């Protein structure tokens, strides 16, 4: 008789200590909160993920911008227009909402950007089609950046 009571008591203790379901749910929810926090941080401080970690910009170089326009028209215009949303976002003023590093990393490394960067992830969720990697060189991506610098809210096209 005494032994049965003991077995019951032990069983009860084991069952009670396994009831951690509520705690597990809390742990699953945490990363989502963290992501939200990152999205709410200043996009003009986000450099993205990829080969470009730091760029210093000088005055706009019109010759580079012209060359960048040609690279853009050849590689990007199937999905992007400057002043109108198509498959991807309109790129007018993109240098005013993203850092130069983020823009170049989006061009050179879109697969990891949409997988890991909170801003790019949010864009993918909105536009649904993933941005294609056009396998440009860093120099070509830099020319496109220069072209984008000439397409700000202060210009028109």
Residues that bind ligand HEC (CB under 6 A): 72, 75-76, 78-80, 87-89, 91, 94, 98, 103, 106-107, 114, 123-124, 127, 129-132, 134, 136, 144
- CA 54 from chain center: how many Å? 17
Residue labelled with tokens 């005013």: 96
Q: Which is nearer to ligand HEC, 11 or 86 (CB)?
A: 86
Nearest to 130 by CA among 144, 116, 110: 110
Q: Which is nearer to ligand HEC, 88 or 152 (CB)?
A: 88
CB of 124 to ligand HEC, least distance (A): 4
Instruction: For residue 84, give both structure tokens.
Output: 């109108």
Residue labelled with tokens 């130069």: 100
Q: Which is nearer to ligand HEC, 124 or 152 (CB)?
A: 124
Residue 117 burial (CB count, 10 A): 24
Instruction: For residue 9, give both structure tokens.
Output: 């008591």
Instruction: For residue 11, give both structure tokens.
Output: 């069983």
CB of 54 to ligand HEC, least distance (A): 18
Cα torsion at 145, 150, 152, 154 (round to 10°)?
160
Longest CA–CA separation in the chain, Å: 95
CB of 63 to ligand HEC, least distance (A): 18
Q: Which is nearer to ligand HEC, 65 or 91 (CB)?
A: 91
CB of 122 to ligand HEC, least distance (A): 9
Q: Which is nearer to ligand HEC, 26 or 157 (CB)?
A: 157
Nearest to 71 by CA among 120, 107, 113: 107
CB of 33 to ligand HEC, least distance (A): 23
């Amino acid at each position: 008789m005494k032994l049965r009571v003991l077995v019951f008591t032990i069983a009860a203790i084991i069952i009670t200590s396994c009831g951690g379901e509520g705690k597990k749910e809390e742990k699953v929810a945490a990363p989502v909160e963290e992501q939200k926090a990152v999205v709410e941080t200043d996009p003009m401080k986000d450099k993205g993920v990829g080969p470009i970690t730091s760029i210093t910009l000088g005055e706009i170089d019109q010759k580079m911008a012209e060359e960048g326009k040609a690279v853009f028209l050849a590689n990007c215009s199937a999905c992007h227009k400057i002043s109108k949303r198509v498959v991807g976002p309109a790129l007018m003023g993109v240098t005013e909402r993203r850092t130069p590093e983020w823009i170049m990393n989006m061009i050179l490394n879109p697969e990891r950007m949409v997988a890991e960067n909170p801003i790019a992830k949010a864009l993918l969720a909105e536009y649904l089609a993933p941005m294609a990697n056009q396998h440009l060189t860093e120099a070509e991506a830099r020319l496109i950046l220069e072209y984008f610098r000439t397409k700000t809210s202060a210009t028109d096209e």
